[in-house]
Amino acid sequence: SQQGEEDPQALSIQEGENATMNCSYKTSINNLQWYRQNSGRGLVHLILIRSNEREKHSGRLRVTLDTSKKSSSLLITASRAADTASYFCATGVRGSGTYKYIFGTGTRLKVLA
């Protein structure tokens, strides 16, 4: 069963505006990652935040993690048309001797020029 749920499912903003996407998950995690997917392509890693971190920055990206609420948010500041893509959160979950990544349902972001 998919662990992550993201909202909104779709988001349309003007270039220069900020975009915020949220991710909720169900079980304990080791880390949470955000990925980007252009239409019909593979996913590209954006940023990883560990379970003992609360906030992380990378360029125009800001990620927060609240383990008590089992939620994370991705903020893209000063968005550009090239940011148009789908964004997914993924949680790293350790099982009995194994480790896997569970993805959310994604947010489709459209940035209008």
Which residues form the interface with other proteins (CB under 8 A)? 1-2, 4, 6, 30-31, 33, 35, 40-45, 48, 50, 88, 90, 92, 94-95, 97-106, 108
Cα 83 from Cα 109, distance rounded (Å): 8
Q: Give 42's Cβ-side CA count (13 Å radius).
A: 2
By beta-carbon proximity to other proteins, the closer residue of 10 and 78 is 10
Residue type, position 50, single letter: R
- Shortest distance, position 42 Cβ to other proteins, whole Å: 4
Closest contact distance (angstroms) between CB of 6 and other proteins is: 8
- Expressed in angstroms, the distance from the first to the final Cα of the chain is 37
Q: Which is nearer to other proteins, 41 or 80 (CB)?
A: 41
Backbone angles phi, psi at 106, to 5 degrees: 90, 155
Output the smallest distance, CB 66 to other proteins, in A: 19
At 32, phi and psi to the nearest 5?
-135, 135
For other proteins, give the closer residue by CB, 15 or 108.
Answer: 108
